[in-house]
Chain A
């Protein structure tokens, strides 16, 4: 799978995804280090990549109007790599279940937010 990591995601999360054989790159390497939320979301969708971010407001807006795939890391940033490692198989299944979806991952669970209007 292809993952596009927002700037607020620890590089350790990228390392986890790369080790698992996925393609992943960051907003900074794409020239989007200081881009707004819309640019980040459109870019990920155009590149057929899952957008990975911690931002709650961003994720909530995305839940309301879902385009593409979004992995919302609903946890403290330093814990994200361990949580993604723990839940990765389930995350992949959930992300693969729909073309447009927000998957929320926390220490306790993986939760699917399907698009509201589909």
Chain B
């Protein structure tokens, strides 16, 4: 599959966001990585209890394809066998290269020449549920956007900007925006400087500045 957009090559979601996107737990993603079903392209162990896992665009396609097939009631063991079979064949990254479909309790996949293969031959079957690749790609591209509900909210998070208050869904400290406000910058100019922010965030910073 061609992952056309240049921005796609820069994308790398942390495991928490990848899990949320796929609708599975972080623990399950770690298990899929450890058992070589879907592994992140960027993985670095920083300490005994700290490993950074970042999922590239292609990894996320793999994840979502697996998650959708599992949602159709196919067992993880079955998915694993199909993926292993394809990797032994000509496909290095089958989950993102091929078109998958589920019929009953079987997985079918379409080779590059258009022919379908699966547990049982589909012959005249109408494949009920073809995994919608374009929909998956659109979901991934939208995943880096900030949740609109986070606007105006402030959080402190471990290992983020020394635990200083930041706007939820960003790494932008409230103190940064307060500094711009103290210098007389307008809401529009601050949002131009930090496009992730909304007027609600700037209002919150203004409120905190007033209270200080």
Contact = CB atoms under 8 A, between A and B. Distances in A.
Interface of A: 6-8, 10-12, 25, 27-40, 42-43, 46-47, 54-58, 76-78
A36 B172 contact: no
Given A11-B192, A28-B196, A31-B13, 13 more contacts: A25-B10, A29-B10, A29-B144, A30-B10, A32-B13, A33-B144, A35-B14, A37-B159, A39-B52, A42-B42, A57-B161, A77-B180, A78-B183
Interface residues of B, number: 38
B24 interface: no
Contacts of A36: 14, 157-160
Interface of B: 7, 10-14, 17, 42, 44, 46, 50, 52, 54, 143-144, 146, 157-162, 168-173, 176, 179-180, 183, 185, 192-196
- Interface of chain A, helix or strand or loop or mixed? loop
Contacts of B195: 11, 28
Contacts of A35: 14, 160, 171
Given A29-B144, A31-B13, A42 B160 contact: no
Nearest to A11: B193
B183 to A, nearest CB: 6
A40 B146 CA distance: 17
